[in-house]
Structure 1
Amino acid sequence: MSNVFDGYERQYCELSANLTKKCTAATALNGEQKKQKVSEVKAGLDEAEALIRKMDLEARSLQPNIRAVLLAKLREYKSDLNNLKNEVKKIVSGNINPSARDELLESGMADALTASADQKTRLMTSTDRLNKTSDRVKDSRRTMLETEELGVSILHDLHSQRQSLLHAHNTLHGVDDNIGKSKKILTNISRRMNRNKWIISSIVLALVVAIALILYFKLSK
């Protein structure tokens, strides 16, 4: 769903299991050792709260369908964190009789085991999800490479077609120039033919007039 959220979730699960173990150990301690252990737990609780805030911000930045699932998981982690805070308050208050302490130790060990099992399950689920995401990324990359190869092939074909069109354009341009030259030659030939026709007509007319004049003079004598 979100690699960032999964990273924060993994850190919180590990931290929660560690804090649960420290709380269990603190119940069996006294004096300065107990204070030191409680101090470590409180520091861990601050770190856990920071992780939950980061998960909350990340979840709210995602799509509605994904956000709803992540916020539901986040409510469980907030409840888990509240339980840890309550357990620390009980340890700090020091109002625990021996039987209650033994019961708390047993409960703490059970909680630690349960937390470890839950942590392992979440980690396995996260790993499986990451593997699926990796497979999807590989498929997407393979598709992208195939698309890129197809695009290169299409560009090569388009380049070849462009060269063919440019060659055809140059050929047509040459043909057009030849047609223009042929048109000029035919125009010149037509003009010469018309000029020659007028010359021949003038010569024929002159000959007819000359013949007529010759005949006239001969007949008149």
Structure 2
Amino acid sequence: MSNVFEGYERQYCELSANLSKKCTAAGSLNGEQKKQKVSEIKAGIDEAEALIRKMDLEARSLQPNVRAVLLAKLREYKSDLNNLKSEVKKIVSGNLNPSARDELLESGMADTLTASSDQRSRLMMPTDRLNKTGDRVQQSRKTMLETEELGVSILQDLHSQRQSLLHAHTTLHGVDDNIGKSKKILTNMTRRMNKNKWIICGIVLVLVIAIALILYFKLSK
């Protein structure tokens, strides 16, 4: 439901009710007072027509399902306005004598005003239903927005966790590279130690042989 349309609709209903009261009052007046009242009613009718045109433009700019309902209401409003115009024509007619005028006020105008009141009552009922439907739609939209915000928050958390995992993976990869380098260094050190051990063993063996030869030559003399 359009808030703009609702605003025009409220203005029209208030204006129509006011014009109906003025029509009733004008029927019992004479002379200049009657002319002044009729002039006020005509100005009000022009204003009501302008409001109907605005409502028509607004209704045609809405979605098809809403537009159909509002255009149906506009037809009722236009019928109500035509009734008011008919009453104004009867009021300004110079062919009506006092008795005919009284009869008009008691019958025709009363019936017309009652019909207009009934029309406004019937039209306001769909308006209330549309307002309730609009409230439910707004609530559903609010729930959807909240759900969307929650989804965005969850995605942000997942993205943050993914970044943390990637950082941890990179760190572990660096640690693995360091362990590989350390392993190579330890392997090289082990090889050198083994090499040095064989060298030392060879030197000891040569010394033992040399000592043995020296002892042998000394003892043999």
Q: TM-score, normalised by structure 2?
A: 0.73
Equivalent residue pairs, number: 195
Match of 2:126 in 1: 125
Contact 1:26/1:37, CA 8 A, preserved across alignment: yes
SS of equivalent to 2:165:
helix
C-alpha distance in structure 2 between counterparts of 1:64 and 1:163, whole Å? 50
Q: Does 1:49 align with 2:54?
A: no
Match of 2:170 in 1: 169
C-alpha distance in structure 1 between counterparts of 2:184 and 2:102, whole Å? 117
Tell me the CA shift for residue 29 of structure 1: 0.5
Contact 1:21/1:109, CA 8 A, preserved across alignment: no
Match of 1:7 in 2: 7
Which whole-Å deviations, capped at 9, do the CAs of 1:60-90 have from their partners, x for residues lacking one?
2122343333233323322332332232223
Match of 2:69 in 1: 69
- Greater shift in the superposed pair: 42-51 or 171-180: 171-180
- Greater shift in the superposed pair: 73-82 or 160-169: 73-82
Match of 2:209 in 1: none
Q: How do 1:79-98 residues align onto structure 2 when only pairs under 5 Å count?
A: 79-98=79-98
Tell me the CA shift for residue 174 of structure 1: 2.9
C-alpha distance in structure 2 between counterparts of 1:180 and 1:82, whole Å? 97
Change (3 A) 1:115 1:133: same
C-alpha distance in structure 1 between counterparts of 2:93 and 2:41, whole Å? 15
SS of equivalent to 2:173:
helix
Tell me the CA shift for residue 163 of structure 1: 0.7
Tell me the CA shift for residue 31 of structure 1: 1.3
C-alpha distance in structure 2 between counterparts of 1:23 and 1:97, whole Å? 17
Unaligned runs of 5+ in 1: 201-221
- Greater shift in the superposed pair: 59-68 or 173-182: 173-182
Q: How do 1:96-175 residues align onto structure 2 when only pairs under 5 Å count?
A: 96-106=96-106, 107-175=108-176
Tell me the CA shift for residue 184 of structure 1: 7.5
C-alpha distance in structure 2 between counterparts of 1:92 and 1:80, whole Å? 19
Change (3 A) 1:111 1:90: closer
Letter in 2 for 1:78: K
C-alpha distance in structure 2 between counterparts of 1:75 and 1:121, whole Å? 13
Letter in 2 for 1:73: K
Match of 1:26 in 2: 26
Q: Please, what is the CA RMSD of the aligned residues?
A: 3.0
Q: Report the identity percentage.
A: 56
Contact 2:80/2:119, CA 8 A, preserved across alignment: no
Tell me the CA shift for residue 183 of structure 1: 5.3
Tell me the CA shift for residue 52 of structure 1: 0.8
- Greater shift in the superposed pair: 72-81 or 31-40: 72-81
Change (3 A) 1:138 1:65: closer
Q: Which runs of 4+ in 1 moved over 4 A?
A: 180-186
SS of equivalent to 1:96:
coil
C-alpha distance in structure 2 between counterparts of 1:180 and 1:58, whole Å? 77
Change (3 A) 1:73 1:130: closer
Tell me the CA shift for residue 126 of structure 1: 1.8
Unaligned runs of 5+ in 2: 200-221
Tell me the CA shift for residue 53 of structure 1: 1.1
Match of 1:78 in 2: 78
